[in-house]
Amino acid sequence: MARTYSIALLGQPNSGKSTLFNGLTGSHQRVGNWPGKTVEKKLGTCERGGVTYTICDLPGAYSLSAMSEEERITQEYIANGEADVVLIMVDASQLTRSMYMLADYVGGRVPCVLALNMMDVAEGQGKRIDSQLVEQRLGIPVVPFVANDPSRFDGLLAAVRRAADEKLVLSSDDLAKLYEQHSPEWKQAYDRLALTVADDARFDAVWQSAHEASADHDGAVSCGTARLLWVDQLLEGVQSEAGDKAPAFLTRLDAALMNPRWGQLVGILVCLGALLGAMIIGAPLMMLGQVPALLSTPLATALTALGVPAFIVDFIASGLMTVCYFTLSMGGFVFGVALVFGVLDEVGLVARISYLFDGTMSKLGLPGKVMMPFLSGFGCNIASVTGMRVVDSWGQRVLAIALSWAVPCGSTISVIPTIAYAIFGFGGMLATLLMLAVGIPLVMLLTAKVFGNKLAPESERAGLIMELPPYHKPRMKPLLALAFRRYTGILKRAFKTISVVAVVFWALSYSATGVITDSTMYAIGSALEPVSRFFGMGWKLFMAFLAGVLAKEAVLGALAALYGSASGTLFATVSGAAAAGFSPAVLATQVSGPEALAFLSALMFNIPCVIVIGATHSETHSTKWTVLISVFYFCLALCISFCVYHVASLVM
């Protein structure tokens, strides 16, 4: 029977753990939460050379001192001996500062391997590292490594097998002497624990005493001092440096980003440039969405010629083709965002953007790294939701996703000005800008107020602690593979989610006569009008508002079917108002100013679309929070509609 090795990935944030995890496991991974915890658990498998490896990507942490929930979970997982080997990732380009995690693990009885990641960056800086000398001093395998280079994986896994088979563990003798010299708190804990810990215990008294002592402030300082001294001793004579070889333009860019006056402006420009680049790159895949739209009419003709019943023809040619249109269009943009933001992350820009906006985002209970996903939401909320994977804490990630729903996507920004201009002319454009400028920050603040204390309590928030990584060249092949995995994943999830809602809307809007007033939607809308009027919308606008939950593009189709001269179902008109015979002049004569403003305001901050709901569930792994966020935004949109309508009625 083939041997299976269980590997735990351990390292600081930005050490390359996630890159290695994705590279090894590919699509063979699952993500959830630790039992009873709000911290993400990533598990995956891979098979190479007839050997199976199960891999757990532990939460990124700067130490194992159990100060945060992530650190407690990491410490408990290692202490319980669930892994055959602990693979410790460190940044070779900043070796002295990133080796603290290794020092914190000294004394652990689970075999381990040290991966000197980002060796290409270190070499680009002119650094030379004697990995064999480090291995000789540590007594465990030490592997020079580049996480985004798959050709190096076999060598790393060979080291993992050797460490597991030969039980190669880190000696604690040298560090124990330093603890004894510099930490009376450690000495007190050790004198007590050494009497009770058996020789075959998973972790010896050195390790346990260090982590018990580190729970106290003085002990954390004294034990930390000992670890840093141990790192200095370990690295003596290990590395040489020929000087910084960073290109001049990167030096200038870094100076601009770190400028206290202009840094945030430069950061926003970088984010907007990335968003534009994502749109350009994703455009070819997004254009695939036009294929179902072009096939709709000839498909309907062909099915009719074959004698297929009219209602089935309508569902396939209109409903099903519309589902494909929405799904392919959204997926293309997600691919572009995943690729562009992946490049920026590897280059080193994402860490700097996080630093720039950490103070601003902290007011919402979030880290600065959410800024770029927020901005990507102006293109597509799917990209914003999936982009929140950069947040390590599960609670903060769910909060960030909830706030990202307040960012209107490209479809919303296209649909709302179209309707606003039809009713108010150029005044409608000003109204749209006002809704964007005032509404987005207010809705975000309210959302943070409602969900923030539950998902990210102030007592659990901490200031940003991070190392700004050096700039380095990204490897495009693994980034393209990751982007395509995101693309295919979102296509599968989106098609399933939107299909269910599409069937419902198709059934409601279909009528045998082709006239909307003979449809179930008309009957339901008429019955709901007393309620919808309370919120400032007639039944037609209210049904169009509900259609916006399917996709914002569907709103124009719904308005065309409800107010225009053409007959047909919602999906027969969804591809464009003009094709459906939709006249803006007719809409302007049938909808009052206050009612129009109420509708537009509600539409702006309603649930983005059903695909976003599906993506949210996929990213949070929580039906509860997906439902809560959806209900919150739906109710909030109606409350906004109510307030806008009654205020506008007083002045218009």
Between CA 513 and CA 528 the distance in angstroms is 23
Between residues 68 and 144, the one the model is more confident about: 144
Residue 59 is classified by DSSP as P
Lowest mean pLDDT among 183-197, 255-269, 487-501, 598-612: 487-501
Look at residues 338, 326, 323 and name the one whose alpha carbon lies nearest to residue 386: 338
Between CA 284 and CA 5 the distance in angstroms is 42
CB 334 within 8 A of CB 383: yes
Between residues 271 and 52, the one the model is more confident about: 52
Q: Which helix H or strand E contains 621, and what residues bound it?
A: none
Lowest mean pLDDT among 29-43, 281-295, 380-394, 587-601: 29-43
CB atoms within 10 A of CB 318: 26
Identity at 417, one-letter amino acid code:
P
Lowest mean pLDDT among 125-134, 471-480, 520-529: 471-480
**Which phi and psi angles does 6 have, rounded to 5°?**
-105, 125
pLDDT confidence of 331, banded at 50, 70, 90?
confident
Q: H/E/C letters for each residue in 98-116?
A: HCHHHHHHCCECCCEEEEE
Query: For the whole model, what pTM was predicted?
Result: 0.60
CA 407, 413, 416, 421 torsion-angle sign? positive
Between residues 557 and 24, the one the model is more confident about: 24
Residues 6+ apart with CB under 8 A from 3: 51, 52, 161
Residue 189 pLDDT:
85
CB 337 within 8 A of CB 383: yes
Residue 634 has pLDDT above 90, yes or no: yes
pLDDT confidence of 37, banded at 50, 70, 90?
low
Residue 636 has pLDDT above 50, yes or no: yes
Between CA 171 and CA 203 the distance in angstroms is 12
Residue 401 has pLDDT above 70, yes or no: yes
Structure tokens at 334: 């997600």
Highest mean pLDDT among 199-208, 433-442, 446-455: 446-455
What is the average pLDDT across 35-41? Answer: 59
What is the average pLDDT across 298-313? Answer: 84
Residue 565 pLDDT:
43
Q: H/E/C letters for each residue in 411-472?
A: HHHHHHHHHHHHHHCHHHHHHHHHHHHHHHHHHHHHHHHHHHHHHCCHHHCCCCCCCCCCCC
Residue 159 has pLDDT above 90, yes or no: yes
Label residue 352 left, alpha or beta by phi (over 0 means left) and psi (-120 to 50 means alpha).
alpha
Residue 407 has pLDDT above 80, yes or no: yes
Residue 286 has pLDDT above 60, yes or no: yes
Between CA 619 and CA 365 the distance in angstroms is 19
Label residue 576 left, alpha or beta by phi (over 0 means left) and psi (-120 to 50 means alpha).
left
Between residues 487 and 156, the one the model is more confident about: 156
Which letter, b or e, does each residue of 600-611 get, where b requires 16 or more Cβ atoms within 10 Å of its Cβ?
bbbbbbbbbbbb
Residue 644 has pLDDT above 80, yes or no: yes
Residue 155 has pLDDT above 90, yes or no: yes
Inter-helix orientation angle 321-347/610-620, to 10°: 50
Lowest mean pLDDT among 35-39, 172-176, 499-503, 623-627: 35-39
Percent of the chain's residues with pLDDT above 70: 81
Percent of the chain's residues with pLDDT above 90: 19
Look at residues 293, 385, 292, 371 and name the one whose alpha carbon lies nearest to residue 338: 385
Between CA 329 and CA 335 the distance in angstroms is 11
What is the average pLDDT across 251-259? Answer: 74
Q: Which helix H or strand E contains 178, and what residues bound it?
A: helix 173-182
What is the average pLDDT across 176-182? Answer: 87
CB 296 within 8 A of CB 324: no
Lowest mean pLDDT among 65-69, 190-194, 224-228, 385-389: 65-69
pLDDT confidence of 586, banded at 50, 70, 90?
low
What is the average pLDDT across 49-60? Answer: 87
Residue 293 has pLDDT above 80, yes or no: no
pLDDT confidence of 582, banded at 50, 70, 90?
very low
Lowest mean pLDDT among 396-405, 532-541, 578-587: 578-587
pLDDT confidence of 518, banded at 50, 70, 90?
confident
Convert the pLDDT of each residue in 496-512 to its tens digit: 666 665 666 667 776 77
CB 369 within 8 A of CB 426: no
* Partner residues linked to 45 by β-bridges: 54
Hey, what domains does the chain have and what are their CATH numbers?
Answer: 4-241 (3.40.50.300), 263-461+476-480 (no CATH), 496-651 (no CATH)
What is the average pLDDT across 161-168? Answer: 93
Residue 198 has pLDDT above 90, yes or no: no
Residue 402 pLDDT:
94
pLDDT confidence of 326, banded at 50, 70, 90?
low
Residue 464 pLDDT:
52
Mean pLDDT of the chain: 79
Convert the pLDDT of each residue in 103-121 to its tens digit: 888 877 889 999 999 888 8
**Which phi and psi angles does 367 have, rounded to 5°?**
-80, 160
CB atoms within 10 A of CB 274: 22
Residues 6+ apart with CB under 8 A from 217: none
Residue 580 pLDDT:
38
Between CA 161 and CA 170 the distance in angstroms is 16
Residue 621 has pLDDT above 90, yes or no: no
What is the average pLDDT across 219-241? Answer: 87
Residue 578 has pLDDT above 60, yes or no: no
Between residues 489 and 38, the one the model is more confident about: 489
Highest mean pLDDT among 22-36, 500-514, 517-531: 517-531
**Which phi and psi angles does 569 have, rounded to 5°?**
-85, 175
